[in-house]
Each structure stands twice: as structure tokens, then as C-alpha cells.
A and B are shown apart, each in its own frame.
Chain A
Amino acid sequence: MATYLEFIQQNEERDGVRFSWNVWPSSRLEATRMVVPLACLLTPLKERLDLPPVQYEPVLCSRQTCKAVLNPLCQVDYRAKLWACNFCFQRNQFPPAYAGISEVNQPAELMPQFSTIEYIVQRGSPTPLIFLYVVDTCLEEEDLQALKESLQMSLSLLPPEALVGLITFGRMVQVHELSCEGISKSYVFRGTKDLTAKQIQDMLGLTRPVVPVQQGRPLQPQEQPPISSRFLQPVHKIDMNLTDLLGELQRDPWPVTQGKRPLRSTGVALSIAVGLLEGTFPNTGARIMLFTGGPPTQGPGMVVGDELKTPIRSWHDIEKDNARFMKKATKHYEILANRTAANGHCIDIYACALDQTGLLEMKCCANLTGGHMVMGDSFNTSLFKQTFQRVFSKDFNGEFRMAFGATLEVKTSRELKISGAIGPCVSLNAKGPCVSENELGIGGTCQWKICSLDPSSTLAIYFEVVNQHNAPIPQGGRGAAQFVTQYQHSSTQRRIRVTTIARNWADAQSQLQHIEAAFDQEAAAVLMARLGVYRAESEEGPDVLRWLDRQLIRLCQKFGQYNKDDPNSFRLSDSFSLYPQFMFHLRRSPFLQVFNNSPDESSYYRHHFARQDLTQSLIMIQPILYSYSFSGPPEPVLLDSSSILADRILLMDTFFQIVIYLGETIAQWQKAGYQDMPEYENFKHLLQAPLDDAQEILQTRFPMPRYINTEHGGSQARFLLSKVNPSQTHNNLYAWGQESGSPILTDDVSLQVFMDHLKKLAVSSAS
């Protein structure tokens, strides 16, 4: 099986694609019996150090309904200078530029190692990137100060040609004009009134006034600078200006009486930001960066009233249908998000507050547009500061790790159809022959828009095998899929990345073991999880759990080896062995469990889960636990209460949190100050090791995780205790007082119990 693991790994590295099944069941019926759908995780912009983009444009299949890109799977007739599309079998003439083509002189896209290739489109004038800051001023003084500093800092990180704009909001919304000398000028909007894009553009003077052309003197176009220039200026021009402007930014001056929340017009501010860009730079890469320090409290999109005595909605309220603003607000932000997506812009949300800020309602803004969502306690924390800084991180080429306005098109060979996608995208509603009627995720289309991408953005794409059982695919046949991602590179180039993959078909009845062996349980777990989380957005939590359980049981029934009604006989092959465990942790994860999480937190977690790549997603599902002790080098240990030992330091990475936990003894030693004694330098090193490792994770992850340093008995230890498998609880008494770990005070079932039940149900003939 190592071969399959290698295969999977290779494919992932080359194409950024991981399929749940790497050998495909050859008929629709069999495919549905596989339980886990045929699907893949696609990381369209996966960083490829070894993939220099080619400086020409792709060759497309001439069939209008196909337009697949020439790829290594195509059959080429070098003499006739023809190639046959591997998707629609259309025979195409090579364009004139390919006249010199031959077996030995192949263009890159025909070489197998270039199953993923990137083209640079030369057409069109490059448009600058646009960064529009939307800043909440209803902040505490020190928060605002920190935010201002971060923003000022960010100016130095932006590409000099990039356009920046500034909108501030509180009770009112101010759109700052950046071009003026002397008096600083801003357009102010009421925070309570929803405006149409047209109105906003009129009010900002973005609609070009109809200047009567004076006879005999046609207006010189260069006389008038672009109208938008007043609000969006190249960084290098107004760097100082904007720095000063930010420096002078004051807290929202409107008085907030005791017992009230400040009036915060987030909804209108966003609406104006969207309208501004919509009118001036449609279909140009642009980031709307919303910095907010609290929930919207007025106007469209308000999430909570300004009375402090009415707390912001909780899951409890939502279940009781008691969240009076939620539906309306969600609607508002959804409309905005869709408009933004339609324009190819994205919205980042940086929400820093101790209480909720309405991420639940606003999540779609980031989710649909591929924007970032960052949640922190305060702008004055390194969590925010470094996360924000990392938004502008650059890759090895010195390019920003961000891409804009991407469209992803998926083409499939005719045995496959596309059910849908789950990820930071919106449907482009492109119907086509390869679009399935059975939708999973965002379906009904073969094209999606991903307004903002970074190298780790990952979509889950679900397929449906449509080949009928009675029309077998010829032996050795391969199914293929092509992913065409067109996007605006951060260097403002338009690029197209094309990934073409193919997998073998296999008859599930005769070659089940092949299929089984080619199962990618990690990908499958993440793909199922995405489905589950996607469902959880619209369905009741328990329903989703039941669905997940049923899928798991069915999978076990299908692929487990057991004797009927004999749980003890139940075995799973290696390629499936971890899957139930993933499901166990997934069930407990904050993506599906809302208990103890605020609606905002749930939204935040789900947001990230729906866009990270497989590795990160797996960490989210099942956090990683490392153990540091004198007994050996650091080693991963079971995410189990039994791993919590007194003489260990544990490092847990849940993606969102990094927890360093000192075992009881270690903590005592540390208190005693042994680490400061030269003779216990090894102890010092032991203490230091997890810190260094944590640092490493912190350095690379986006968003920066919450960093927690705790010890046995510490209040923050709950982060660890809530994650580990509660194999020892107050219920199984035998564990009490033993050295084998720490009991967890919970009524949750442990993995063992879970597995026992699973086996029982899987082997049960009743189900």
C-alpha cells in the first residue's frame, strides 16, 4: 500500500489534488455504494517552486461546449498537427504557433510532468491591486491605537502601485478622500440607511457628471483624472497623507451613554465599500478589509440593539428562534457578499472583541468571497497584529501570497459529472454537460468564482459517476478531470493554471480490493467533514451527526471484515483504519458541536475548516499532540487522556490554538526554578523545546493561533482536556489515582466506547 500512499503524496505535491478514491468505481450504482463520494480536495494555487509559468496562452478545444485545455492526456497527431480532446474527443488543429511541434519538440503542456501548468495571459492592461480599509472607530483608545499602527504598518507592506482607500465607521460612515491637499475630506453616510449601489455611487460623485461638451472644444480625456481617484490612490503617492490621516483618526465622537453599546454601522460601511468598488473597479482584484471591534448595532445588518441589557444572540437564542436581527442581518450580508463576489472583490473580516461581533451574520462576506476571517480579543494583541501582517506575506518570488478574482472551471470525462463544490467560492451558474443534477455543496454549475485565493485555499469538489452499470468501461480505461483556474496574480498578471488528472476505473465487484486500497482516508475524512459542516450550516446539529454516523456505519459495513453480529470479529483494513477515529473527533469538534461555542466562534471555525488544505483540516478535526519528556525525543502521542502524564510536557496543535501543557511534576519543577540552575540545563532545554516548536507553527500559520501556555491544574488546561479522548473519566473508576493519565470530568463517550458501538452496529444484521 505504500505505493498508494506515495502516489497520493506525489499527486498532491504535483497537482494539489487529493481524491477520496484513487481508483474509481466504474458505475453509478457501485459508486453510491462506496458511501464516501468520489470527490477531491483541490488546492488551485498550491505553491510549486518548480513550476515556472509559461509565457503563452493555453490551447483550447474548439468545441464550444468543451473548451478543454490541451493537456498531456490528449492524443496528438504530430504529423497532421492535430490533437484530440480527451474530454470530448474533438479533433483540433494546433494553432500556428505550434507549427514546429513534434514528438521531440513538445510544448510543456503535453509533458506528463506538467499535468499542472500555469499560463500567463498577456492580454489586457494590468490593473493594480486594491486595498480598501474599512475601519471601525468605536474602539477603546488603546485598541484603536494598535489598529492604527497596524494599518500604518501595512502601508509599507503593500505593493507601491496598489491602490488604497479608507472608510471609517462608527455611528456614521466616512469615506475618506485621499487626494486632497490641506483639508482632509471625507464623505459621510448615515449609518442607518441602506443604500443601493447606484445611490452610493451618486453620492460619492462616482457617476461621471454629464458635462455638456462645449462645441468645438471636445473635452480632453486626460483633463479629468479617473473619478475614483479621489478615494483610491496609489500607495506610493499618498503614503504620508494616509499615514497622517490614520494617525489623526479619532474614536467615534458620538457619546455612548451608560448601558449602551456604541452605535456601529458595520452593515452600511460594508455596503458602501462594496458599492464604491463596484462602481469603480469591477472585476479587478480588490480586498475590502473590515476591521471591527464589536457587533453592528444599527442600520441594515445590525446584529444586536444598542442596549447592553440585551445580550447578543447565543446558540440558545437561535434555537429558540429568539435572535430577532439575525435573519435580516444575514440577508443583508449575503446580498453584499454576492455582489462583492460578482465583482470579483473579496471581503476580509478582522473582528477583535471580547464579545461576539456578529461573525455569524457576516460570515458569508468572507466565505463567499474568499476573504479572510480573523477573530481575536483585541487589536492590541500579537494574534491580530501578526495575523494581519501575514496577510501581506510574500512567497519565494517576492510575490504576495494572494490572488484575486479567480474562476475555477472543472471539466470531466463523460463518465463523470460534477455535483458541486464546497469552499470559499460562489457558483457562476455555468451549466454544462458535465454538471450533475445531484448537488453536493454549491452545485448546479461547473464554474465557480473564488474572489480571493491563497496558496492554501482548498476546495472540495464532489463528483458523480454516471456510467451505468450495464455499460462497462473498457478495461484500463481512465477517467479524467481538468481544473482550469483563471486568476489575477498579485503581480496583477492574469494567469491560468490548468491541472489535468486521470484515475483508473475499476469494477467494484471484481476489483473492490483495488478500490479499497486506493482509498485516501484522510481526504475522505476531510471531504465528509466538509459535507457535514456544510450541512450543519443549514440543518440541526443532531441531524448532521446522525447522518455522519450513518455514513460511517455504512462504510464500515461495506469495507469492514467481520462476521455478522459478532462485534469482536470486526476489522478494517489499513486504508480505512483511521477513518472512524477522524469521525469520532469530528463529532466532538467545534465544527459540529456548538455547545460551549458562541455562534461567532462556530462561524469562525467553520469558515477556516471550509478553506484550509487537507493537512490543516485534519489538524482541525483531530488535533496533534506531541509529548516532550526526558524519556526520549519529542513524539506524537495519542490524543487521549492517557497521554496526559505528570512528567511530560504536551504540545497540542488544534490549528486555532497552540497549547503547551506542563505535566504536574514538570510544573512543580518549573516552580521550584530548576530550569535556572546550571546543573539542570537539560530541564531548561526540555522546557524550551515545545516553545520553539510552537514558535515554528506560529510563524507559519494563518491565522495565527491562540497561544496558550498552561500547566497541570491551570484553568487554561481546559483547552487540552476538552480535546483529548476521554478514555479516563470519573466514570471508569479504575483509572483514579493511577499514573496512567488524567481523568477527564465529562460524560462524553470515549473513543473506545464509540468504537464498540460502531462495531456493534456495523456487524448488526438489523441495520
Chain B
Amino acid sequence: MSVNQQAHTGLPYGQPQPGYQGYQQSGYGGQQMPGVHHSQYGAYNGPLPGYQQPAPPQGTLRAPPTSGAPLPTSGAPVPAGQPVYSQFGQGDVQNGIATSAVQMQRPSASQPFIPGTAPTPVSQPATFQQYGPPPTSAQQLTNHMAGMQIGSSTSAPPPAGLGYGPPTSVPPASGSFTATGSGLYTSYSSSQGPPPVTMTHGLPPTSLSQGLSLAQPAFSGPPLSAQRLPQAPGFVPPPCSTGIGPSSYPPTTGAPRPSTMQGSQLPGQALTGLPTSQPNHVSSPPPHPSMSGPAMTGLQGPPPPTHPSQSGYQMQQNGSFGQVRGPQPNYGGAYPGTPNYGSQPAPPPPPKRLDPDSIPSPIQVIEDDRNNRGSEPFITGVRGQVPPLVTTNFLVKDQGNASPRYIRCTSYNIPCTSDMAKQSQVPLAAVIKPLATLPTDEAPPYLVDHGEPGPIRCNRCKAYMCPFMQFIEGGRRFQCCFCSCVTEVPPHYFQHLDHTGKRVDFYDRPELSLGSYEFLATVSYCKNNKFPNPPAFIFMIDVSYNAVKSGLVRLICEELKSLLDYLPREGNMEESAIRVGFVTYNKVLHFYNVKSSLAQPQMMVVSDVADMFVPLLDGFLVNVNESRTVIVSLLDQIPEMFADTRETETVFAPVIQAGMEALKAAECAGKLFIFHTSLPIAEAPGKLKNRDDRKLINTDKEKTLFQPQTSFYSNLAKDCVAQGCCVDLFLFPNQYLDVATLGVVPYQTGGTIYKYAYFQLETDQERFLNDLRKDVQKEVGFDAVMRVRTSTGIRATDFFGAFYMSNTTDVELAGLDCDKTITVEFRHDDKLSEDSGALLQCALLYTNCAGQRRLRIHNLSLNCCTQLADLYRNCETDTLINFLAKFAYRGVLNNPVKTVRDTLINQCAQILACYRKNCASPSSAGQLILPECMKLLPVYLNCVLKSDVLQPGAEVTTDDRAYIRQLVSSMDVAETNVFFYPRLLPLTKVDVDSDTLPAAIRNSEERLSKGDMYLLENGLNIFVWVGVNVQQGLIQNLFGVSSFNHISSTLSTLPVLENPFSKRVRSIIDMFQAQRSRYMKLIIVKQEDKLEMLFKHFLVEDKSMSGGASYVDFLCHMHKEIRQLLS
């Protein structure tokens, strides 16, 4: 939220200003920070429904201010800026609103304000208070900064201090000035710990907030947790004004913080604009090394200013943030203060290291968002709304835009021109999960049948009817919202318009009122103009020596017997329409005739692997129920038949060919489930050789490890796609089997790879079976084509994910399941207009599991901006990281990994530098100022850079890297989020009586306590880390053994014990398992045990064994980069 706020600042201000002013004033007047906050919060809560959006907007508002910053020269800008901002803000807001739901949008924009307004007082007060505390704004700030830094520094090494320290809090503060500082602080506070945020929120929020937060924590002492309360305290203490601060803060913070968060945000809105930016600013004071210190101080400083500043703060905030402007007038006086701040920061340079607690905390951000936005439904009616974070549980109400579960964008406000886009370097991308599974309380897309002629489409661009189409001439025609072409409404679709120009049947037709819906496709949408046959599943089991010996074959056969009853089916159907077939293989392939009329299955061996074909037609693909006895008999006999096999060689490409040919012969689409164990070295097409060579790592040839050995598989994949043959690959390697090559077909056909290295029946069975069950049962579409249409001005130019493209626009997917995500990058090819915004329409033509041809349409409207601040205020870092990771992971195919890493860092530095240059309020160069929305960018980016693909550790195999590379390519935002920044929960804090989870903690070893147990999940693994000093009772409860030493680290599940703690922990694990598309491997890690190395690899804020930088170090580094860019 706070982030958003920041973003908003600029624009919102304009409008808000009045309000803000009022707010501020009122707020100021009211100042009753605490009280207000509360009230505000209350108000928010109240308003939330409506306002929720606003809340974010606040952020935006804030941003604007920052953007206002553009006027940059803080001093001068302020006045001018204000008006400008206001205008802009208004404009923007209006625009935003204007387009679809003008009001709505406005609200969003304005809302923030409004809410802000209401809250503002509070927030402001809060801020004030905060500020207050730090009274000696500058000094305090600086102090804070220093403190922050120091704090951080204490923990973190001085170097960090340089860039980072300062950056965080300082920048804002310093950068902004005192004002900024204050603002920053506020913002920081807000950003970091929601609570502190609140404090800072108001204004400083943005950059400061972060910085502040950082600082704050420091102040508060304990970072994270402290945040809320601490913040206040933190603030308090740091500021010289402590006395004041504390008093005021504490109260405010104490109560409000939580609320504050919101409140802060809200207030932020008003203030936020600024704050946001401020937090972002988190700049280190100009002088890096020393500066950092100062910067921090600066930040801190800002907070202190609070008092003096209050007005000043506001001012500052305004100044630095955008809001300020609004306030500025009021603050005019404050400004003076600001300068002070500015100066202050500089002076207090002593900074040392960056306190890890003072730098933006993912946990805090997630927590804040959850608290702020988790309680109210996200209503999609408004254009360009930033949805809650993926980590937040929220309900979506579709009112014209696709749910964020389907589409998430890196930014919900798109620059109007390509120049702006280039300048900002913020990638414009949408992460689309067309068949996402919705929670049970959200309705799946409605099915629309337009009858014989098929779905109504624009004549020119062929866009499908959607809520943004404009009906004109009394409803006889409609104008395409994408290309503006006017199309006749076919008679059977005609409907009169009401006085607002809406069709009378608006609410009766999903395609006019909803963001997501499905059309029933007509025969002309089918291959060869024939309705498709129901799809088929073919199970292809490796029966070579390894597979048989490990018990895998028996396991699969046993499982299939029951699993076949759970094939996906279309809602109301009694039995699945999907037919199944079975193949086993080693060096040759065995097909099975399981025709229902047979007494015994028949096996047909095809040894001609060089020229694969399907030996039978009838009886290969059968209905499960009809052929049940034969199938069961077959599955009983397969393990027996191959029990004595001595064949160790396998083929692979022919297996896929066989499956594809079978589907071709049956004239249907379908999915192959291939269970494979070894490198296919038998003489056959697609034969591979072992080319694993670790010596290539960190050389220019490293990329070859990611590239397939032969182009054979790419061509095969092409054929598969043409047939709608999706390949899911289950790998059970005991050694290198070249995932990079084997994965080509699954990858390009929209399939999934599962890998179970060193598969052992006892430990891996459950994981494999769960994956298999999930994979078989999950909803899947076949033979799909996805096309993304956009408003004129931008164009989908690049696509990431598991699919095949034969031209530049159509994403072809042999199969697409509910977990697969396609990331689409957009680029400008013209100008966009703020009025009309930008629309996306993602149309997916697919065959569902009943063999019905359907079109799923997702529509999303985005805002457009002419101010960079708006862009920064409406970004979503998680999505951005998703995109950047995919971009980088694709990059390693063609570039040295080092280059890829540098490119990533450079791009992010540019993004942040651009913000700093154009949006943040002026501050000392040493300050690191981050956009509120992107304050986690550095930490997440660092995680990406440290990931196995980009920086492999010694224990990471080539196969692992290739596997992960492909895996990430089709992950959605939630998955990448947890994958790159794992979730770490203290188990001892689990409340056995409630459903709530304990607060997560940051991924750093120093946050682990020896007396505690932790649970870490990243989407692939779950670790349970047990400290050496954990209470015996807990160990007994959880592991059923008497002491730490008795815990077996080979457990793959927790023992089922009848005590509340065990139950609760297991239910948490089960819950996590249910959330992920794959069943995670459970690993018990005892502190100081060998496995701990593995575990530490996932403590991503720490320095990694493979040389990855710690968060703090990286932040410093980023800061340096940014400074270089700026200078």
C-alpha cells in the first residue's frame, strides 16, 4: 500500500491537495495523531470497500508528490509543483477514473486522498508526531539515519553503510530534505513496519518510510516485529525529540500503527505521495561510506524533524514527496525546516553499516499488505487498480476487469509514450494465467454462447466482445476499444441502449459486464473445421532396470489403478470423457491393447524406434470404465513382466513420437505422462550423450549447458504442438540425464517437468504420488492458442513461458493447465492516451477436458500516464521480479551468465535511478531513494541473482539448473515470490489454537534462534529447521523422540502424533502443500548438521556460499550503481 501511495503522490496531490491540505490542516489541526489514526483507520475500514483502492492510490498520491519532485528542486518545486501536481494529479486521476469508471478511478486516485483526507489528519498527525519525535528533524533524521545505518551497520558491515545505509532512510530524508527526511521517515516507517509507516506514512512515507523503517527499526530496536510499535518507539528514540516523538509516536504508533499502516497509507496518500517517494528514496546520504551513515542519519534526521517540522514535515513531505506540495503551502514554513533536514543529514554522516532491520523488509511489506487489503474484496471495476500482493488473501469481485489471479501487470499505469517507458526502464509486462484455479467462493468464468455465427468480434482486429466495447448509434454498431473500428452489431445480438449509453442487457451478458468469461467456440474455431474429440491421457512408463529395481514401476502401476477414477471432467459430467492409453518402454516401446472386449491385455512391441509409429488404433485409447478389468489386469502384470529385465538403456524421443502419433491417429489432443529414469543413450533418434561439464560454469560456454544438445527435440515439439500433444515429464534420475534437452518438448508443449533425483521409494513416494495425482487431476486445456490484443499504442512483443510460437503473435500451447503462466511483455509502437488508458484482451482458444472447444477471454484496463511518478506509484514488484527472472532465465540460453546478471542489475539500477532523478524529491546524492512500490526490488533482485541458475553453488547440478530454469519460466507471481524469497515461519510461535500463522521472519540466519524451530518453504521444498536448544517437549511433540540428537534427518514426513502442536504444524505443512502446484519435499534440518548447508542456501538475505551478496551488501551495491547513473 504504502508503496502505492508513494507512486501516487504526484498526481493525487493535485487533487488531493485541497483535501490534503484540508487534511493536513485538519490533520494537523487534529494532529491527534493517534486518535485520528484510529479514527482514520476506522474510517478507512469503513471506506475501505470503496477506498481500499484509495489506499493504494494514496501511495500513488505520494508518488506524485515525488514525481512532483520532478519539479525536483525541492525548494522551488514545491509551490510550482503543487499546482502542477494538483493538475497532474487531477488529470491523472480523472483520466484514470474517467475512462471506464471515472468516478471509480477518481476515487482510487482521489479516494486515497479522500480517505487520506479523513485519515490524513491522523496520518499527518502521526507523521507529525513522528516528526515530532525526531523534532530536531534534521538532526534527528540524521541521527535516525545514523541510527538506522548504524543499526544496520552494526549488523551489517560498513560497506553496506555506504550505499545502503544511507539509501534507506537517509536518502529520503536527506534527499528530500529534512522534509523528505521526515517524509522519508514517515514513509519508511510506513513502508517498513506498517506501523512506523503510519507514523511516517503520512508524508515521508515513500522513500523515507523505507529508510525510516530501517532506521526506525533500529530505533525501535528490534526491526521487524518492532515495526509497528517499535516504529513509534523506534522513531521516538532516534529522534532527539524522542521525548516528544515517543510520546506522540508511541501513542499514535501504538494504536494506529497497525491501522497506521492503513492510516499511514491513507495519510500517505495525502502525504503518501511524498512519503512513498521518500521511502523509495532510501538514499544514502551523498557520501557513501560516510555518507551512508549520514544518509541514514539523514533519514533519521527527517523523522526527528517531525516536531519542528510537523508543519515542516508536512512541508517536507510535500516537498520531497509530492504531497508536500499540497501541504507545502501550508508547510511553507515547514520547508525551511526541510532545508534543515537536508543539511542535517549531511552533517550527521558518521554512519557505519546498514542495519538489516532498517532496510526494506519483505516480511513487513507482505504483512502490511495482508493487513491492509486482506479483509475487503478486490473489486475490479476500476481501471488501473493495483491489486493486493499475491501473498495476501483476498476475494476478487469481477466488475469488468480480469481478476489478478488471471492477470497481473508489472505496472498498472503505463507511460503514454515509449520515451517515458524507455526512460524508466520499467518493463511493461503482464503475467497471465489464463486457466487459473479460483477459490471456491469466486465464480468461475461464465460460459457465453453466441450461437451459430460464433462470438461477436471486431471486424478489423478481431477482438472479442468485451465490456470496453462502445456501442453507438443506438446500439446498432459498436466501436472497438482496441482499434476503434466500427462494427455492425449482428441482428441477433442487437439490444437497445439506455440513457447512459449502456446496453440494456449489460448485466445479463458476462461479456459486457465482466472481465473474464468464456465463449463457446463454433466449428470454425476448430482444427480442420471439425469439432475435436475428447482428449486422451497416455501413460508412458520407463521399465528399464533402474525403474523396475527402484520399485517405481510397481508404484506407478498401483497408483494408476485408483488414479484413473479421478481424471478431470467437465463440471456436470458423470464420468470423464478422457480416454487413456498405456505404453511402457526401455530400448523399445510396448503398447497395450486394453480394449474392453479382451480377456487379457495385449502387448505390442515396437522396436523400430528409428521410425516410430503407433501399432494399434482400436483398443489403445479406451474409456476407463469400459475397460477397467483389462486395465487393472494390465497394471497388475506390468511390474511382473519386467521384474527380471536387464535392459538398462532407454530411448526418449521415440516415446514422445509414439504418444504424439497415437493422438494423431486417434485425431485428438491429449497429454503424455512420461515416467523416465535415465539419459536416453540407446540407439534411436534423439539419442543423447553425457555432456555434463562443470568446467563450463562461469565461462562463455556455460550457456550450452542450458541449450538442448540437438535440435531434434525442438522439431519434435513443433509436431507435438501441431497435434495438441502436451508432455508431462516425471524424471527419476540417478545421474545426469540432460534435463535441458529432455525438457524441450515438455516445455514447448506447455507441459510440466517433475524431477525426483535419487528417487527412493520410502522417502519420495509420497511426493511423487501427490504430484502425479495433482497433475492428472488438474484442469487442463488442450490444443490452445492464446492471443493478446492491446490498445493501439502498445503491442505484445515478447512472451515467456512454456509454449511454442510459430509466428510473433500467437502463443501455441499443446496443453495449458491451471498452474501455467505466460508472461507477456509490451512495448510501445505509438502513443497512448491518458483518457482512454490501455486495454489488454487475452483470448485463449482451447479444448477443454470434455473435448469442447472454448474461448476464454480476459480483459484488463490499465491507466496511462504522462508522469513517471504515476508509473512508479502503480508498479508491482512481485510481478516485476517475475518478469525479470523469466527474462534473465531466458537470457542464459544465449549469453554468459555474468552478462545476464549485469544486465539485470543495470536495468534495476536504471529503474531506480530514473525514479530518483525524476520522481523523488531532491535529496543528497548519498541517499538511496526507492519508490514505495519498488522498495523490495533490491532484495528480490538479489534473490534472483543468487538463484541457482544465475549463480550456482557447488552442489547444484547442471540438471537442477536446467530444471529450475524451465520451472521458473512458467511460474506465476505467487510462486516466484516464494521461490525467490522463501517463507520462513518460527514454529515455536505457532498458536495451536488458532488458524493464523505466526508472523514470518526474514530469511537471515541471524534471525534464527537456537531455541526455536522454523519452517521454510520455497515452493519446491519445505525445511523444518531445529535449533540445538529447542525444548525437549517440543521435540517430543513434533518428532516423537526424546532429544535433539534422536531426530532423524532422513524423515520425509513428520510423524503423526496426537498432540496439538504436532497437529498444528502438520496442518500448516498440509496447507502449504495445498497452496503449491507441486508437492514440496520435506527436509528436516538439525542445526549444525550437514544438511544445514542446504538450508542456509535459502536464507537469501545472507551471503550465499556460492558468492551471492547479502541483502545489505547488495543494497549498497545497487546504491552505488544508481549513483553512478545519476552522476
Chain A contacts to B: CB under 8 angstroms: 172, 174, 177, 180, 182-190, 193, 195, 199, 202-205, 209, 211, 248, 250, 253-255
Contact = CB atoms under 8 A, between A and B. Distances in A.
Interface stretch (B607-615, B743-751, B1111-1119): B607-615
Given A183-B637, A186-B602, A187-B606, 9 more contacts: A172-B616, A183-B600, A184-B602, A185-B603, A188-B591, A204-B607, A205-B607, A209-B646, A253-B616
B618 interface: yes
Contact of A172 (B590, B592, B615): B615
6 contacts: A172-B613, A183-B592, A183-B634, A184-B603, A189-B606, A209-B646
B617 interface: yes
Interface string B605-645: 11110010101111100000000000001100100110000
B604 interface: yes
B696 interface: no
B598 interface: yes
Contact of A189 (B608, B641, B646): B608
Interface residues of B, number: 27
Contact of B641 (A183, A209, A211, A250): A183
A170 B380 CA distance: 61
B426 to A, nearest CB: 55
Question: Which of A182, A184, A185, A188 has the largest count of B CB atoms less than 10 A from its CB?
Answer: A188
A209 B649 CA distance: 12
Contacts of B592: 183
A202 B609 CA distance: 11
A253 B600 contact: no
Interface of B: 588, 590-592, 598, 600-608, 611, 613, 615-619, 633-634, 637, 640-641, 646
Closest 8 CB pairs of A and B: A203-B607, A188-B615, A253-B618, A187-B605, A185-B603, A188-B604, A190-B613, A183-B603
A186 B613 contact: no
Contact of B611 (A183, A193, A204): A193
A706 to B, nearest CB: 37
Contacts of B618: 250, 253
B605 A190 contact: no
A737 B613 CA distance: 68
Contacts of B613: 172, 190
A183 B602 contact: yes
Nearest to B620: A253
Contacts of B617: 253-255
Contacts of A182: 600, 633, 637, 640-641
A253 B646 contact: no
Contacts of A180: 641
A642 B640 CA distance: 76
A211 B633 CA distance: 32
Contacts of A188: 591, 604-606, 615-616
Contacts of B588: 203, 205
Nearest to B606: A188
A328 B604 CA distance: 30
A319 to B, nearest CB: 37
A620 B607 CA distance: 47
B600 A184 contact: yes
A186 B611 contact: no
Contacts, number: 69
A253 B622 CA distance: 14
Nearest to B683: A202
B590 to A, nearest CB: 8
Contacts of A174: 604, 615
B605 A186 contact: yes
Given A203-B588, A253-B618, A185 B605 contact: yes
Given A183-B601, A183-B602, A253-B617, A202 B611 contact: no
A172 to B, nearest CB: 5
A309 to B, nearest CB: 24
Contact of B607 (A184, A187, A250, A253): A187
Given A188-B591, A211-B646, A202 B615 contact: no
A187 B619 contact: no
B608 A190 contact: yes
A43 B798 CA distance: 83
A186 B607 CA distance: 11
A193 B608 CA distance: 10
A183 to B, nearest CB: 5
A180 B617 CA distance: 23
A758 B920 CA distance: 123
Contacts of A255: 617
Contacts of B602: 183-186
Contacts of A193: 608, 611
Nearest to A199: B608
A356 B613 CA distance: 29
A183 B613 CA distance: 21
A201 to B, nearest CB: 10
Nearest to A204: B607
Contacts of A184: 600, 602-603
A221 to B, nearest CB: 16
Contacts of B600: 182-184
Contacts of B598: 248
A224 to B, nearest CB: 11
Nearest to A185: B603
Contacts of B633: 182
Contacts of A209: 646
Question: Which of A177, A190, A193, A199 has the largest count of B CB atoms less than 10 A from its CB?
Answer: A190
A300 to B, nearest CB: 13
Nearest to A250: B618
A190 B608 CA distance: 8
A187 B604 contact: yes
B634 to A, nearest CB: 7
Nearest to A189: B608
Nearest to A253: B618
Question: Which of A177, A187, A199 has the largest count of B CB atoms less than 10 A from its CB?
Answer: A187
Contacts of A183: 592, 600-603, 634, 637, 641
A329 B606 CA distance: 25
A182 B640 CA distance: 11
Nearest to A203: B607
Nearest to B619: A253
Contacts of B590: 185
A279 to B, nearest CB: 13
A211 B617 CA distance: 36
A207 to B, nearest CB: 11
A247 to B, nearest CB: 11
A203 B608 contact: yes
A326 B13 CA distance: 90
B645 to A, nearest CB: 11
Contacts of A195: 608
Given A172-B615, A253-B617, A253-B618, A186 B604 contact: yes
Contacts of A253: 616-619
A185 B600 CA distance: 11
Contacts of A177: 605
Contacts of A203: 588, 607-608
A230 to B, nearest CB: 10
B543 to A, nearest CB: 13
Contacts of A189: 606-608
Nearest to B592: A183
Contacts of B608: 189-190, 193, 195, 199, 203
B977 to A, nearest CB: 49
A331 to B, nearest CB: 21
A254 B613 CA distance: 13
A189 B613 CA distance: 8
Nearest to A209: B646
A202 B617 CA distance: 25
Question: Which of A182, A193, A255 has the largest count of B CB atoms less than 10 A from its CB?
Answer: A182
